[in-house]
């Protein structure tokens, strides 16, 4: 008899705590993780680095976008809360791990026009392909850039 009662309580407890977040936690915008090609690997290797990114969408699109960059030593993971706050306010948010950080390939190239700026340009071009982002002209996304160091 005790085994049966324990089984019912355990099942009820497991079901409650598994389903509770669906009803109690606030709904958040959708986010997806992936990799994008960035700028060239080096001056002698034109192969693009691969940049780890997360695209966080607001409830209503199309919407203006924010390209959110992390500080030195961070990654896109350190921006998850900020990205969610911006998405909750109606922005499409693209966070990424700069080359050499997180799962992004390549060597760290702080403020390099040839590399880091090329990576940011590739990310903005990507936003220009997304229907969820307001476009001021074809391939011209409405995007702001923010971040820390």
Please give the share of the chain, as a percent, with pLDDT higher than 70. 79
The CATH number assigned to the domain holding 38 equals: 3.40.50.1820
pLDDT at 4: 53
SS3 52: strand
SS3 130: coil
Q: What are 44's two structure tokens?
A: 């002698």
Q: Examine residue 6 and state whether it is found in any structural domain, yes or no.
A: no
SS3 81: helix
Q: Examine residue 10 and state whether it is found in any structural domain, yes or no.
A: no
Q: Examine residue 1 and state whether it is found in any structural domain, yes or no.
A: no
Q: Examine residue 70 and state whether it is found in any structural domain, yes or no.
A: yes
Q: Examine residue 94 and state whether it is found in any structural domain, yes or no.
A: yes
What is the arithmetic mean of pLDDT over 103-122? 87
Please state the φ and ψ torsions of residue 52, each to the nearest 5 degrees: -75, 135
Chain length of the chain: 149
| Model confidence pLDDT, tens digit, residues 91-101 | 999 999 889 88
Domain extent for 82: 31-147
Q: Examine residue 91 and state whether it is found in any structural domain, yes or no.
A: yes
Query: What is the helix (H) or strand (E) element at residue 11, kind and residue range?
Result: helix 2-24
Which residues 6+ apart lie within 8 Å of 122 measured at CB?
36, 37, 38, 39, 48, 51
pLDDT at 92: 98
Binning the chain into helix, strand and coil, the percentages to the nearest 5 are: 30, 30, 40
pLDDT at 30: 66
pLDDT at 33: 75
The number of domains in the chain is 1
Strand partners, 55: 32, 94
Residue 49 has pLDDT above 60, yes or no: yes
pLDDT at 74: 74
Q: Examine residue 131 and state whether it is found in any structural domain, yes or no.
A: yes
In whole numbers, what is the pLDDT of the chain averaged over residues? Answer: 81
Region class of 73: left (phi > 0), else alpha (psi between -120 and 50), else beta: left
Q: Examine residue 14 and state whether it is found in any structural domain, yes or no.
A: no
Please give the share of the chain, as a percent, with pLDDT higher than 90. 44
Instruction: Say which residue, 33 or 85, is predicted with more confidence.
Output: 85
pTM for the full model? 0.76
């Amino acid at each position: 008899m005790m085994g049966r009662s324990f089984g019912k309580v355990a099942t009820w407890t497991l079901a409650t705590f598994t389903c509770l977040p669906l009803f109690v936690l606030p709904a958040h915008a959708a986010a997806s993780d992936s990799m994008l090609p960035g700028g060239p690997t080096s001056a002698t290797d034109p192969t693009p680095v691969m940049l780890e990114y997360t695209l966080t969408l607001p409830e209503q699109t199309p919407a203006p976008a924010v390209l959110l960059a992390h500080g030195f030593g961070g990654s896109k993971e350190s921006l998850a809360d900020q990205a969610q706050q911006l998405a909750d306010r109606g922005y499409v948010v693209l966070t990424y791990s700069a080359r050499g950080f997180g799962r992004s390939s390549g060597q760290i190239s702080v403020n390099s026009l040839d590399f880091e700026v090329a990576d940011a340009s590739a990310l903005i071009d990507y936003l220009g392909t997304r229907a969820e982002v307001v476009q001021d002209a074809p391939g011209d996304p409405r995007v702001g850039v923010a971040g820390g160091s």
